[in-house]
Structure 1
């Protein structure tokens, strides 16, 4: 049974495509970024509003492009946790065709819990660790 969470559902618009007719890398990054807000919000138990005293700082991210993604493609991103550190979460996001399940891209990312006032990493609390552990795949 998959422990991943659907974190993004969308359609590829023509304006997102480059001169070669497939999604430009800037739009992959944006979709994965939107998906990470969903995942980390579920883990933190917070919506990420500016009223919060902590946030997340990505310290490493990669994108592996597997299949072309063209205008009109319906896509879904599912995210799961790969590793829980003292102050960080490493997670993977997989972008697939919503109807055919073909993997278009994947993105492993490490994000650190961040105190916005002190501007430094802070330890994950136990409720966050439990919510993250539920999403380990």
Structure 2
């Protein structure tokens, strides 16, 4: 009798990480790579490598992003995982890079989901004045 599937080493969908690390300490880099690995572990994804942009002045088609696009055309690649959208670059660049990732047939997975511009106020939200004439709205997670 063969063991159950849960007792076999089964690899999940293949993903590649992407980080934008400009003037970041080694400890911060290690923590970000660990967060990608943990996200993949908890979502049953196989993190096959991490591409890292280190130069802010390179532009849209950096060597790291070009390398990422190259591996996205390999068979069985599911997508790209990043800590947040900001790791793809400034807003305009990140949006364009996101389109390129999707055009390659891959998914963009973010460890931290983007915040929406407008939050609706519910009963579980508290309002606390900060300064005369201003109001700060706090979500329960704040």
- TM (norm. structure 1) is 0.25
- TM (norm. structure 2) is 0.24
Higher Cα radius of gyration: 2
Give the structure with the larger strand fraction: 1
Indicate the structure whose relative CO is greater, using CA pairs within 8 Å and at least 6 residues apart: 1
